[in-house]
């Protein structure tokens, strides 16, 4: 199972930080069967058992520790039994670092059209062939045990935004019952099952959800139902209500977040783990991430710009290629262009979380956050 240890020195900083009134940024170490990993951490998203356009070797080179895959997608194609026969997800995709799989909750509610939710689970139509499918806590956990990720997620409903209070209340209570069923169905030792806190955008439901799941005692907690279109201040308010209720010695994973400004705020509230499709998705339409904001390297302005995307970046793209070259590739629809912007964006976020960890360890996270936000335009 995965143990999370906030380092002694950091805990001192953490206590100090809380004393001077700002909540708990912390640096920790996450122990899993595939290694011990540093937090705060960004986890590249590899929905269909590949982080789009980059190889496991390149992921290792850029410092990726844990990558994500999606139970919903792999359950539909190629099937999780097939992956189990191939030796599990690590073997199948040749990745020996950590893997986390989402339970399919979010995807059923966001990808699967014509879905119907009951106490038992969720019926939906496959976005691949339109066939009728069904996911329940038991099925989602079995699928994730087949895939063999180091960290798996309980089956939940990601409440849409906005949602009526009554709907959010009933859905959150059901997600807690589904978490208990997920726990009972989870029999694979050495694999950590995280619960997912819901509650919509209602403070009281967030607190009830967190307290109920903590009393079921999970090795780690996802914070779900955020980054679903709500204004950022509302997301931060939900974090403020939820994170302090989660055990200090357990990892917190904010699902589906996000842009660097959201990461630095969420770390301030005590979040340890992040995932987001943003860096890989915007890369594929020619947008690079920098500490001053986005750089659309495809723009004509960069046609004769022979500097790298970011002169201070240590990634393969910035060390060897110019904006002009990358723009040329993107305009020519050359696959290598997408690979270079993807490599840069992943490196940027992985390096950003490493810099936050260093700032926390050196007790200068607050000033790091101030400097970053002053320079970064959303
Ligand atoms: C964007 N805002 C966002 N993403 C939420 C994801 C999905 C994360 C998922 O988001 C993509 O799936 C669509 C990624 O694939 C493209 C998945 O990576 C494998 C990733 O799985 C962790 C949530 N997942 C669950 N189970 N429950 C949630 O409440 C939840 C909330 C999210 N908000």
Candidate from 223, 256, 263, 282 with most ligand 1 atoms within 8 A of CB, to mutate: 256
CB 219 within 8 A of CB 186: no
Looking at the predicted structure, is the pLDDT value of residue 225 above 50?
yes
Instruction: Say how many Å lie between the CA of residue 255 and the centre of ligand 1.
Output: 6
Residue with tokens 């939906």, as numbered in its chain: 124
> Which atom of ligand 1 is nearest the CA belonging to 277?
16
What pLDDT score does 111 carry?
Answer: 63
Instruction: Say how many Å lie between the CA of residue 294 and the centre of ligand 1.
Output: 23
How far is 48 from 329, CA to CA, in rounded Å? 25
Mean pLDDT over 85-113 rounds to 88
Residue 95 Cβ contacting ligand 1 at under 6 Å: no
Beta bridge partners of 102: 70
Residue 262 Cβ contacting ligand 1 at under 6 Å: no
What pLDDT score does 106 carry?
Answer: 80
What pLDDT score does 115 carry?
Answer: 76
CA-based diameter of the chain, in Å? 60
Instruction: Say how many Å lie between the CA of residue 140 and the centre of ligand 1.
Output: 15
What pLDDT score does 10 carry?
Answer: 38
Instruction: Say how many Å lie between the CA of residue 196 and the centre of ligand 1.
Output: 11
Mean pLDDT over 282-309 rounds to 96
Higher pLDDT, 107 or 295: 295
Please give the share of the chain, as a percent, with pLDDT higher than 70. 92
Higher pLDDT, 18 or 48: 48
> What DSSP string runs through 228-243?
SS--HHHHHHHHHHHG
pLDDT per residue as tens digits for the range 153-211:
999 999 999 999 999 999 999 999 999 999 999 999 999 999 999 999 999 999 999 99
Beta bridge partners of 133: 124
Q: What residue's CA is closest to ligand 1, atom 29?
A: 224
Catalytic residues: 102, 275
Q: How confident is the model at residue 5 (pLDDT cuts 50, 70, 90)?
A: low
What pLDDT score does 76 carry?
Answer: 94
Provide the H-helix boundaries in the chain.
Answer: 8-19, 56-61, 71-76, 80-85, 89-92, 105-110, 137-147, 165-185, 203-215, 232-242, 260-268, 278-283, 316-320, 323-331, 335-361, 365-375
Residue with tokens 């629809």, as numbered in its chain: 333
Instruction: Say how many Å lie between the CA of residue 185 and the centre of ligand 1.
Output: 22
pLDDT per residue as tens digits for the range 233-246:
999 999 999 999 99
Question: Residue 278: which region, alpha, beta or left (left: phi > 0; alpha: psi -120 to 50)?
Answer: alpha
Mean pLDDT over 72-95 rounds to 97
Residue 112 Cβ contacting ligand 1 at under 6 Å: no
CB 94 within 8 A of CB 54: no
CA torsion angle 91 94 99 105 (round to 10): -80
Mean pLDDT over 103-126 rounds to 81
What pLDDT score does 107 carry?
Answer: 76
Q: How confident is the model at residue 23 (pLDDT cuts 50, 70, 90)?
A: low
pLDDT per residue as tens digits for the range 331-350:
999 999 999 999 999 999 99
| H or E element, residue 37 | strand 35-39
- Kindly report the three-state secondary structure assignment for every residue of 94-121: CCCCEEEEECCHHHHHHCCCCCEECCCC
**Long-range contact set of residues 116-125: C-beta below 8 Å, sequence gap at least 24:** 117/157, 119/174, 119/177, 121/155, 122/157
Residues 142-163: b if buried by 16+ CB within 10 A, e if exposed? bbbbbbbbbbbbbbbbbbebeb
What pLDDT score does 112 carry?
Answer: 53
What pLDDT score does 1 carry?
Answer: 39
Which two three-digit tokens encode residue 371?
Answer: 């400097």
Measured at the CA of 232, the angle between CA 229 and CA 235, to 5 degrees, comes to: 85
What pLDDT score does 114 carry?
Answer: 63
Looking at the predicted structure, is the pLDDT value of residue 56 above 50?
yes
What ipTM, to 2 d.p.? 0.92
How far is 38 from 31, CA to CA, in rounded Å? 9
How far is 129 from 115, CA to CA, in rounded Å? 15
Residue 228 Cβ contacting ligand 1 at under 6 Å: yes
SS3 314: coil
What pLDDT score does 12 carry?
Answer: 42
Mean pLDDT in the chain?
92
Q: Is the dihedral of CA 81, 83, 85, 89 positive or negative?
A: negative
Sheet holding 28-32, edge to edge: 3-6, 28-32, 35-39
Q: How confident is the model at residue 105 (pLDDT cuts 50, 70, 90)?
A: confident
Q: How confident is the model at residue 13 (pLDDT cuts 50, 70, 90)?
A: very low
Candidate from 43, 52, 102 with most ligand 1 atoms within 8 A of CB, to mutate: 102
Mean pLDDT over 266-290 rounds to 94
């Amino acid at each position: 199972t995965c143990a999370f240890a906030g380092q002694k020195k950091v805990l001192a900083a953490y206590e100090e930080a809380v004393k001077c009134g700002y909540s708990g940024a912390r640096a920790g170490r996450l122990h899993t069967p595939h290694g011990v990993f540093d937090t705060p951490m960004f986890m590249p998203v590899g929905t269909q058992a590949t982080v789009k356009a980059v190889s496991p070797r390149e992921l290792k080179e850029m410092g990726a520790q844990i990558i994500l895959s999606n139970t919903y997608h792999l359950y539909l194609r190629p099937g999780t039994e097939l992956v189990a026969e191939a030796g599990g997800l690590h073997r199948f995709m040749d990745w020996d670092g950590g893997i986390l799989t989402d339970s399919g909750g979010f995807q059923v509610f966001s990808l699967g059209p014509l879905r119907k939710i009951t106490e038992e689970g969720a019926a939906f139509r496959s976005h691949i062939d339109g066939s009728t499918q069904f996911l329940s806590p038991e099925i989602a956990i079995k699928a994730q045990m087949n895939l063999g990720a180091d960290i798996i997620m309980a089956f939940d409903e990601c409440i849409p935004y906005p949602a009526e209070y009554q709907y959010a209340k009933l859905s959150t209570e059901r997600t807690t019952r589904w978490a208990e069923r997920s726990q009972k169905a989870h029999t694979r030792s050495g694999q950590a099952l995280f619960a997912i806190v819901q509650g919509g955008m209602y403070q009281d439901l967030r607190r009830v959800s967190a307290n109920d799941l903590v009393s079921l005692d999970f090795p780690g907690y996802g914070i779900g139902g955020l980054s679903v279109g709500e204004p950022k201040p509302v997301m931060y308010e939900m974090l403020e209500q939820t994170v302090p209720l989660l055990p200090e010695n357990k990892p917190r994973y904010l699902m589906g977040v996000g842009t660097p400004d959201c990461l630095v705020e969420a770390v301030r509230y005590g979040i340890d783990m992040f995932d987001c499709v943003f860096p890989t998705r915007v890369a594929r339409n020619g947008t690079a991430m920098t500490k001053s904001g986005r750089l659309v390297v495809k723009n004509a302005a960069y046609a004769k710009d022979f500097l790298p995307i970011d002169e201070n970046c240590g990634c393969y793209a910035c060390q060897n290629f110019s904006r002009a070259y990358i723009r040329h590739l993107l305009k020519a629809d050359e696959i290598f262009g997408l690979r270079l912007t993807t490599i840069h964006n992943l490196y940027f976020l992985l390096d950003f979380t490493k810099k936050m960890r260093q700032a926390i360890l050196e007790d200068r996270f607050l000033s790091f956050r101030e400097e970053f936000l002053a320079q970064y335009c959303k």
